[in-house]
Every structure is written in C-alpha cells, then in structure tokens.
Amino acid sequence: MSGGLSGRIALITGGGRGIGREIALRLARDGADVAVNYRRDAEAAGEVVREIQGLGRKAKAYAASVDRFEDCQMLVDAVLAGFPGVDILVNNAGIASRGQSVADTDPGEFERVMRTHCFAPHYMSKLVLPSMRQRAKENGRGDIIMISSVATLYHAPNGAPYSMGKAAAEALALVLSKEERPNNIRTNIVAPGLTVTDMGERLAKATRGVADIHDLAAGSPFGRVSTPADVAAAVAYFVSADGEYVNGQKINLHGGG
C-alpha cells in the first residue's frame, strides 16, 4: 500500500463487481477508506468489503439502485452516517444496452440505460457535493471521477442509448470541473474500451458478435483486452497527489487505438 490516500474516503457506485470492485480495492491499497455501493449482489460486495478490511482500511457495503433519486438519497445519507464525509466519488455503475438500432430500440430500454449512465451520476454528484465541499475546505481537495467509455469516440451503430448516456456523463463532468474548481474539487473522466468484465462480455457479444471477449485480444493494441486493473490505475492517478493539478481531463483507456 502506498498510503497516499490515507485519511480520504471514497464512495464507489457499482463497486461490488468488475471495474468498480478493482477501483475500490486499488483506492484502499492506496490508503483510502471505501463505501462500496452495489445493486443486487450482496455477496460480491461483502467480499470486496472483507478484502478492504483485510488491508487495514474501513469499508462498508450499501445497497442502492442509483438510477432512482430516492435510492441515491438513501445511499448518501447512509454513507454519511457511517463515515465522516466523502472525499472521492467514483460514478462507475453501468449497464449494457442490447445492441439494437435506434429504430428497433424499445423506449423502456432507452430510458433504463440513460437513467443509469446519465441521471445517476448527476444525482450522486448533487447529493455528495455538500459533504465534499466541506471536506475539501478542511483537507484541501475533493475528486469526482466519471467512468465513461470510448463509445463516445466512435458512436458505433446499434448502441445509441449507451453512447448517449456516456456522452451525457462526460458533459456533466466537464460542467462540474468548472463549477466546483473554486471549491477545490477536481472532476475527471476515465473512458475504457472493452474491458474484461461480465458487462464487457455482454457488450462484446452485442457489438462485436463474439462469445468470448478474449477472442478480441489478437486485434487489440498490445495483444490484449483492457482489464479492470488498467481502469483502476487511471482512477488512482487522477485522485493522487500526482493528479493534484489535473481537472476536466479525460483518459481514453484503449491502448492507443
């Protein structure tokens, strides 16, 4: 553990599995205490908490569906009852769209994906900011990280809800980077390509027509697909002392191509 985040508290949405899990563990290894949000898989979230506690850090899991404002309010209230505040918010929770054309996309599907990728980061940022502003006054900084996607670079066919939701999250990040800079809060974006997670597998099947995401390795930069650890490393940089002067920036985490 580097200890560089000692004394800081991170809240990770969708932190029980995949990318969120790795971010939670990485920030804990770097010294942060971590609130782990999950939607359904209590067992997986509990395992993350136990691993973090094994590192000597404080951690607790919180169930909430962040696409609903009421759930976000309950989540933030519960976190603030269990921790002194929030210094780092990672808006990571995400779902895949079904890989259909705009003409064939069901309105319910569109709304479901947009609420998760567009509405949820707005809700969570709004609710966490009062605590984060106060903590930044006391401790010198706050950080909001949006986990986006390289989908916003390509806007490929048959993925409009996902591309739109992630583009909206990036717009929110850029607005926040200006609004909250006077409060010593930095907002940045990490945008991975296809990553080796359960959701990555579903996206690979929907958009690339492959059953195993590793089948894409040969055609990927450096001969491999992105991993959750790659994403966590980028997040760790942004919230570290090395990222202190970085604000309103985006890392496209796709190996350069």
Write the DSSP symbol of residue 119.
I
The one catalytic residue in 38, 62, 123, 162 is: 162
Q: What is the pLDDT along the chain (257 residues), one digit of tens a residue?
A: 467 999 999 999 999 999 999 999 999 999 999 999 999 999 999 999 999 999 999 999 999 999 999 999 999 999 999 999 999 999 999 998 888 999 999 999 999 999 999 999 999 999 999 999 999 999 999 999 999 999 999 998 999 999 999 999 999 999 999 999 999 999 999 999 888 787 777 777 766 777 788 777 767 888 887 889 999 999 999 999 999 999 999 999 988 87
pLDDT over 90 percentage in the chain: 81
- Domain 9-193+228-247 belongs in CATH node 3.40.50.300: no
Q: What is the pLDDT of residue 42?
A: 98
Question: What sign for the dihedral angle of Cα 101, 107, 113, 118?
Answer: positive
Q: What is the pLDDT of residue 225?
A: 79
CA distances from 73 to 40, 44, 67, 126, 225 (A): 18, 23, 11, 10, 36
Q: Which two tokens stand for residue 224?
A: 């491999």
Q: What is the pLDDT of residue 87?
A: 99
SS3 state of residue 175? helix
Q: What is the pLDDT of residue 199?
A: 76
**213, 200 Cβ separation under 8 angstroms:** yes
Spell out the domain ranges in the chain: 9-193+228-247
CA distances from 10 to 48, 79, 84 (A): 14, 10, 11
Q: What is the pLDDT of residue 2?
A: 64
**206, 98 Cβ separation under 8 angstroms:** yes
- pTM score of the predicted model: 0.94
CA-nearest of 17, 36, 7 to 197 is 17
Determine whether 237 is an active site residue. no
Q: Which two tokens stand for residue 253?
A: 């985490």
Which residues is 186 bridged to in the sheet?
A: 143
Task: Cite the DSSP H helix spans in the chain.
Answer: 18-29, 42-54, 69-82, 107-114, 120-139, 151-154, 160-179, 198-208, 228-239
Q: What is the pLDDT of residue 257?
A: 75
Which own/partner contact pairs does 199-205 have at CB distance under 8 Å and 24+ positions apart?
199/18, 199/94, 199/95, 199/96, 200/18, 200/225, 202/96, 203/96, 203/162, 205/99
